[in-house]
Amino acid sequence: MALDTQVNGNGNGGNGESTVPTGKAPESQGRLIWGRFLGNRIAVTSGVLVVVIILFAISAIGLGPIPGWWKYSYTELNPQVNNGAPTLSLIPTWLGGSGITLGDHPFGQNRIGKDYFAMTMRGVQNSALVMVVLGGIASIVGVVVGAVAGYYRGRVDAILMRITDVFIVIPALVVGSVVGYFAGNLGAFLLALMLGFFSWMGIARLVRGEFLSLRERPFVEAARVAGASDRRIIFKHILPNAMGVVIVSSTLIMASAILLETALSFLGFGIRAPDVSLGLLISSNQSAFQTRPWLFWWPGFFIVALALLVNFVGDGLRDAFDPRHRRFKLRMMQEQLLEPGEDRE
């Protein structure tokens, strides 16, 4: 029977080790986290749906010079069909409907005849682009600032955290409005890039806290004794052990990025015509809420769906990296469901 040794600190040492007799090879930390995540059906389903929605939007109207399978463009003017109402029907004929049909314009048309399905898919593309770019830039900047502050401490930590405090007290919507005013008409990518440099503060604080704890571990001391440079210790030894916080925080920032872009576009400071975003679609048609409500149904549905699904993925990742958090929530729910006087086991 083999003795498997479990070592904390991403294989670089730890605060102790225990030997447990088992009959199989030990699983890596990554596989354990991945297994716990796959065990969360809501998170896995949400992740799959996010990918499906984004791929569907890309394949429908194409990306850049690559055309899609949908016959209309989001900039093309067309004759009004069915008075602009959606031609999509999901009601069977035996219930009085026209059966399952798509028609020429399943999501309807706006007031000047543009196909609303193509416009909505373009809005989904831009929202997904903002989500990924903003989350990536915020994560990179936040990790670097938090890692340097937490590792070096002292004066470096004080300076970087005071800079973080200055950025964090400014409302995100105000900063986004200023950035969007100058970068909104230049495209979704540049807007997301600029917003990412003003959204890193939360990740920086969390990474700093993790580094303050991890830098005192024995595997860090062992790396110093072995002659490893500060850069190698930060990015090769400590950062891999803080990736749980980084990944979860990045996912939650992506969810908030969708809502931030929507709010900015609705206020007129985000993506602007002739390009399309989900928030811009709602803003452009707010006067027709009572007469043409379908102009709000579809962009509103995808805004809520993307934000909720990404949040579910973030919750699943948090439970996977820290299973104690999930057990705590389950215990709290069980205690609330128990009647007074019942035994709590």
**Gap between the Cα atoms of 222 and 94, Å rounded:** 74
Of 14-28, 147-161, 181-195, 205-219, the least confident: 14-28
Average pLDDT over residues 320-339: 56
> For residue 242, what pLDDT is reported?
85
Q: Is the pLDDT of residue 184 over 80?
A: no
216: three-class secondary structure by DSSP: coil
Using CA atoms, how far residue 53 sits from 56, 85, 122, 192, 221, in Å, is: 5, 23, 12, 20, 47
> For residue 99, what pLDDT is reported?
60
Per-residue confidence at 181, pLDDT binned at 50, 70, 90? confident
**Gap between the Cα atoms of 326 and 320, Å rounded:** 9
**Gap between the Cα atoms of 311 and 322, Å rounded:** 16
String of DSSP letters for 47-113: HHHHHHHHHHHHHHH-BTTB--SSSS-TT-B---SGGG----EEE-GGGTS-EEE--S-TT-B-TT-
**Gap between the Cα atoms of 107 and 88, Å rounded:** 7
Per-residue confidence at 326, pLDDT binned at 50, 70, 90? low
> For residue 272, what pLDDT is reported?
83
Q: Does the pTM exceed 0.95?
A: no
Residue-wise pLDDT for 242-287, tens only, equals 888 888 889 889 888 888 888 888 888 888 878 888 888 888 887 7
Alpha-helical runs (H) found in 184-242: 188-196, 201-214, 218-225, 230-232
Burial level of 28, CB count in 10 A (0-12/13-18/19+)? exposed
Of 24-28, 78-82, 225-229, 284-288, the least confident: 24-28
Residue-wise pLDDT for 131-153, tens only, equals 999 999 999 999 999 999 999 98
Q: Helices 41-61 & 294-321, crossing angle to 10 degrees? A: 140
Per-residue confidence at 203, pLDDT binned at 50, 70, 90? very high
240: three-class secondary structure by DSSP: helix
Cβ count near 335 (within 10 Å): 10
Most confident listed range (23-32, 52-61, 226-235, 333-342):
52-61
